[in-house]
Amino acid sequence: MNDFTILHLSDLHFNVKNNVLPTLMNNLLDDIAEQAKFIDNNIIIVVTGDLIHKGNYEYEASVLKFFRTLSKIIGDKFQDIYIVPGNHDKERNAIDKMILEKYVFTANDSTARKFKAKYWQYISYAFNKHLKLVKNIYKIFYKKNFAKHIIDETYGVNVTEIGDIRIAFIRLNTAWACVGDKDERKLKIGLFQLMDIYEQYESKKIPSNKELKNEYTITITLAHHPLNWLDGREETRVQSYLLSNALLNTDIYISGHIHDRDVINFHNTTHSLNTLVSGIGWPDSENNLSSSAYEHTYSWYTFNLDVNSIDVYVRKSDKAGTFETDTSIYTRPLFKEEEKIAMPINENKTQAFLEISTIKGRTTKVAYMTTESLIWMKSYMNIAIKIKARLNMELEKIRKQAYEELAGDINSENLMDFLLGGDSTARDELLMSMNKNDDVINKEFDAFLGVICRDILKIIEDELYLLDRKKHDLRVHFRKLYFEENKSVYKKLSVDCSNGRNGIGMRPINGELIMAAFETATPLIASVNKSICRESINDNNKKTDKNQIWSDFITMIPQFTGNEVKYRDDKNNWKSIPWITFGVTIYSCIDKSLLYLMDYYRFDKLVTESIDEFLWFFPVARESFDKYVKTTGKKYEW
């Protein structure tokens, strides 16, 4: 967690001479100093162009003073710094337009190489002062081993190694084709630049530490211009390089130029690319937007590689020129509350949906996650934890009650240690004696199933009420298998309902959904598997009592030992079907998220674990329990 943090500065546009910092820059440094207190280490500074204003390098002294102060602020938290040129860093000259006229968009490697060989020396001349300034900035930060960080070109690939993390930084020069103030959708990258970068990218995969893999943990591309400032064909080609796993395999694209803040995601079926934009912008003295102060922004990006996420913190200047949280970019309530945007590094590695189980032979359905889904998820976790704890307590009560009933019949000093302490030393011997008292065991099993229904209903009702302060209506039940006229049918065994429904309306069912859930060994939701629930859905639609009309339900088969019955059907074929089933019914569509989470998190396993724990102490014989249910005369109201 918090593997590294990028401080993103762009469009500083220094326009003051004589080693003087404008008020805005002093305010910016003050805010960086304050925000840096919350960062432990591994700060990487990236500057995406326009260090100076309008190509005037008489402002160089002020730029260096800014970075000397920044270096002191970051201190030993500093890891690396990377700078790419912007259109204002370029010294314009008369041959710019002539060279652009010679440029041809091409897919031919040879043509691209020839253009670079013939013209790049003249193009590079416009960035000589920029490169000199960048080297002087690097000297400030790299007091030792400066030679290792010398750059002689305005584009290339650098690698930052932090422990076993290898970060590839691709530096693009998107400013070389700038000729005026109307460059939008006209800029070039050039195949020659992409080819050179790809060669460097491949060659630098070999780490300095031979114990590390020959690959990059993450790839970040830096450029001055957003991708949509490129000529259409150039943009398409650059995107193909960045999005290709076989080429530059870029995860993040960081840029400036538009003096704004934005987050945009591109992705195809195999790769995703997040673009992050920020910028200080033109000096207030030269902005033409209004008489009010211009909004200036910069950003912090904290990368959490182990959980595939970035925390984006955007800071903006207020009317007084001091910096504060930029709340306008935080559109979600959670983002506003935490004053950040959380986003995935690689969209294709995230699963922003729950897989919902379906019958055999059908593909799974998905429920995409929303902010509300996350709230429901927290509630579900609380529900599951509370149910498990409550059922453990109830089982302890049943064990104590059984001990009191059996102690007079079973003359064993080990009975107390077994039932009350869980000592398994004499378990087999005790179970043989306890089985002679199967009426007690059957009664306790029947009671425990009722307790499961009661406690699950109560906990769900209470937890969901905390969500919206509204009453949520549900039914929680067990059904048991019966054979009538050599046909299987499932009738209610234990049930608990909201609003005093008492299970009225639970008709006997043949249970196609039950059989499908048994076959797939997964919970199944009726609305997701309508094709085998037609009879139940049609019967529900015919109901005249609105209190009995359900919205949806989930059926699951507890996987405890013995929950399987083998019988011969009317064609004399052996079949296996479940003995006891479990289900939850909802009476409002607002509670469907509960069923989705019960499916995804396999609520059937929680029910199974509770029953298995009971059966460890009280093994129940199916035939004996069936007889007990019949002889006790349990009434079923259909």
The pair of three-digit structure tokens given for residue 181, joined into one six-digit string: 């103030």
- Tokens 């970035």 identify what position? 310
CA distance 276 to 557: 48
Strand spans (E) along 504-557: 524-525, 552-556
CA distance 30 to 503: 67
Q: Report pTM.
A: 0.76
Distance of CA 418 to the CA centre of its chain: 46
The three-state (H, E, C) secondary structure of 50-92, written as one string: CCECCCCHHHHHHHHHHHHHHHHHHHHHEEEEEEECCHHHCCC
Give the chain's end-to-end CA distance (angstroms, integer): 56
User: What DSSP assignment string belongs to 146-161?
Assistant: GGGG---SSSEEEEEE
What local confidence, expressed as pLDDT, does residue 332 receive? 63
- Tokens 């995703």 identify what position? 272
- DSSP, collapsed to helix, strand or coil, labels residue 488 as strand
Range with lowest mean pLDDT among 2-11, 380-389, 481-490, 502-511: 502-511
Summarised one tens digit per residue, pLDDT across range 311-345 is 999 999 988 889 999 877 766 665 666 788 888 89
- Tokens 């650059």 identify what position? 238
Summarised one tens digit per residue, pLDDT across range 30-83 is 999 999 999 988 999 999 999 999 999 999 999 999 999 999 999 999 999 999
Summarised one tens digit per residue, pLDDT across range 441-477 is 899 999 999 999 999 999 999 999 998 888 999 999 9
* Average pLDDT for 390-416: 83
- C-alpha angle 322/323/324, rounded to 5°? 130
- DSSP, collapsed to helix, strand or coil, labels residue 199 as helix
Mean pLDDT (the chain, rounded): 89
Kindly give the interhelix angle for 438-468 and 622-631, rounded to the nearest 10 degrees. 80
Range with lowest mean pLDDT among 142-156, 376-390, 609-623: 142-156
Domain ranges of the chain: 4-349, 371-395+454-618
Q: Between residues 183 and 209, which one has the greater pLDDT?
A: 183
What local confidence, expressed as pLDDT, does residue 550 receive? 93
Q: Which of 505, 387, 406 is nearest to 451 (CA)?
A: 387
What local confidence, expressed as pLDDT, does residue 543 receive? 87
156-162 and 165-171: which strand pairing? antiparallel
What local confidence, expressed as pLDDT, does residue 121 receive? 94
- Rounded to 10 degrees, the C-alpha dihedral 377/379/382/388 comes to -80
- Rounded to 10 degrees, the C-alpha dihedral 157/161/162/166 comes to 70
Please state the φ and ψ torsions of residue 167, each to the nearest 5 degrees.
-110, 120
* Cβ-contact 391, 459 below 8 angstroms: no
Neighbours of 138 (CB within 10 A): 18
- The continuous run of DSSP H or E covering 497 comes out as strand 487-497
Integer angstrom CA distances of residue 626 from 448, 619, 622: 16, 14, 6
CA distance 269 to 291: 47
User: What DSSP assignment string belongs to 548-582?
Assistant: G--SEEEEE----TT--EEEE-TTS-EEEE-SEEE
The CATH fold assigned to 371-395+454-618 is Beta-Lactamase (3.30.450)
Q: Is the pLDDT of residue 615 over 60?
A: yes
What local confidence, expressed as pLDDT, does residue 126 receive? 95
* Cβ-contact 455, 395 below 8 angstroms: no
| Residue 290 pLDDT grade (very low, low, confident, very high; cuts 50, 70, 90) | very low
The pair of three-digit structure tokens given for residue 594, joined into one six-digit string: 């509960």
Domain at 4-349, CATH homologous superfamily: Metallo-dependent phosphatases (3.60.21.10)
- The continuous run of DSSP H or E covering 276 comes out as strand 272-277
Identify which of 97-106, 192-201, 324-333 has the greatest average pLDDT.
192-201
Name every residue whose Cβ is closer than 8 Å to that of residue 356 and which is 6 or more positions away in sequence: 364, 365, 366, 367, 525, 528, 596, 599, 600
* Cβ-contact 300, 46 below 8 angstroms: no
Neighbours of 458 (CB within 10 A): 16
* Cβ-contact 465, 508 below 8 angstroms: no
* Average pLDDT for 484-503: 82
Q: How much of the chain, in percent, has pLDDT values that exceed 90?
A: 61
Amino acid at 147: A
CA distance 636 to 491: 8
What local confidence, expressed as pLDDT, does residue 638 receive? 38
The pair of three-digit structure tokens given for residue 102, joined into one six-digit string: 């010679």
CA distance 292 to 279: 18
- C-alpha angle 508/511/512, rounded to 5°? 155
- DSSP, collapsed to helix, strand or coil, labels residue 183 as coil
Summarised one tens digit per residue, pLDDT across range 171-194 is 999 999 999 888 898 999 999 999
- C-alpha angle 165/168/174, rounded to 5°? 155
* Average pLDDT for 292-317: 88
CA distance 564 to 31: 67
